[in-house]
A and B are shown apart, each in its own frame.
Chain A
Amino acid sequence: MNWLDSWMAQRARKVARRTSRRNFLSKFGIALVGGAAIPLLPVARANAAESSTSRAPQPQEKGDPLNCDYWRYCALDGFLCGCCGGSANTCPPGTEPSPVTWIGTCRNPVDSKDYIISYNDCCGKTACGHCLCNRDEGDRPVYQPAKSNDINWCHGTKTNLYHCSTSVVLGLAVAN
């Protein structure tokens, strides 16, 4: 078997002479960086870019945004926009978000912290009628208008027709 040993040793030396560890490292490095760069190709990144720059840091969340039990809806009174062609953050097509809104806080079960929530109504169409959600935690009577959800908050919009409600996270609340 001596001839096999010497043949193997010869082949191995030849391979070692022809290739270098640096060459391998550089090729491996290219593969590594290239592999990491593939998911960064500009495919539908606009949304993510916007959320990282123009919006407050968003909390870790769990739960179903189409369910009234979802943490952000703690003081909501109305139809969930997610069931009406929009989402917890966005108005359905054909409606307009009301700039005037009522603002409260909800506790996020993931980190047990309070977040400031803006309940912007979507206006301009008749009531959506799906996913009625009425939790009212922290809701005050209408003589405390800034803290009451029984008010039609479609102010400053083209029409005051109420369609559905969003729950936008504005940021983390500091303990008062």
Chain B
Amino acid sequence: MRIERTIRAIVVAGLIGFAGGVRADAHQDYVLNCMGCHLVDGAGKPPAIPRLADRVGYYLTVPQGRAYLAQVPGAANSLLTDAELAAVLNWLVAEYAGASMPASFEPYGAAEVTKYRSSRPADIDALRHALHKELAQRYPDYGAR
């Protein structure tokens, strides 16, 4: 019994350590690759740098919006691997979506990010404007643009 308990404790400790490590890495990847522009509180500098705080979750509620978050040049062109980018997206949605968090959020997976990155629309800026327009119509607090 004692051995079993010890093993269980070790496994639980390992899982906690692992989860903490992954979270810390995704956070650090955000700091090193995204935070310079989107800022520490996700406020960004709209309209040039979109606001993440209380907004980013809205993208997950419209077609193409979920893909767009992985296809936007800052994300798709970053030096992060697909698995790392998926972890950063999951981290930043959890961290910043706030009031915009959809009722259910299925975390991004590495394979999914691979798919989005390899099928980027030719004119990402047109998609950006179309999404801005749609979200502004749908959500009054999304703001202009």
Interface residues of A (CB under 8 A from B): 99-105, 116, 118, 140, 143-147, 153, 155-156, 170, 173-174, 176
Contact = CB atoms under 8 A, between A and B. Distances in A.
Contact of B49 (A140, A153, A155, A173): A155
B34 to A, nearest CB: 7
Contact of A116 (B24, B32, B37, B74): B32
Q: Specify the main secondary structure of chain B where it touches its partner.
A: helix
B72 interface: no
B28 A103 contact: no
Interface residues of B, number: 20
Contact of B45 (A100, A102, A105): A100
A100 B49 contact: yes
Contacts of B74: 145-146
A103 B32 contact: yes
B25 A174 contact: yes
A143 B32 contact: no
B76 to A, nearest CB: 12
Nearest to B77: A144
A79 to B, nearest CB: 19
Contacts of A104: 32
